[in-house]
Amino acid sequence: MSFLKRREGTLIILKKCIYLSDIGSNNNGFYQLNAVLTHKGRSSSSGHYVAWVRRNQNEWLMFDDENVTPVTEEDVLKLSGGGDWHTAYLLIYGPRAIEYEDKPNEGASGESNVDTMDTTTSSNGART
């Protein structure tokens, strides 16, 4: 699977890092937060549960019964709880696909190698 991306007026090709020897595994070790189940209330026997789900890389949705509302990533990262505010009960992570720039190797073999990998982190220090 390849992706095209522009950088300073030039076209580069990005490929997802896929490990064919172990399909379905997360060999790169990078994860991203995909969903959070929260509880709002003072005790587990009273209150309300809400699901917060990543729709795509930059969009989150809050599922509160039949109401679905777009929220920001900052809203999700504030779910540390306390008092009557939402307390995160369950965090669901999934593998994060790593993109790398495919550059030809300078050697005579014609093989390509991985020069750079995107391992950026968000403002809270978590890998994104």
Query: For 104-126, what is each residue's pLDDT tens digit?
Result: 555 545 444 444 445 555 555 55
pLDDT at 14: 56
Compute the mean pLDDT over every residue in the chain, rounded to the nearest whole number.
72
Contact 85, 40 (CB under 8 A): yes
Helix (H) or strand (E) holding 122: none
Quick one: CA dihedral 86, 88, 90, 94, positive or negative? positive
Query: For 6-44, what is each residue's pLDDT tens digit?
Result: 455 555 555 555 556 666 666 667 888 999 999 888 777
Say whether pTM exceeds 0.75: no
Instruction: Give the span between the Cα atoms of 72 and 78, in whole angstroms.
Output: 10
Question: At which residue do the structure tokens 């729709």 appear?
Answer: 55
Q: Which residues on adjacent β-strands are paired with residue 123?
A: none
Structure tokens at 56: 């795509």
First-residue to last-residue Cα distance in the chain: 20
pLDDT at 82: 62
The neighbour count for residue 33, using CB atoms within 10 Å, is 20
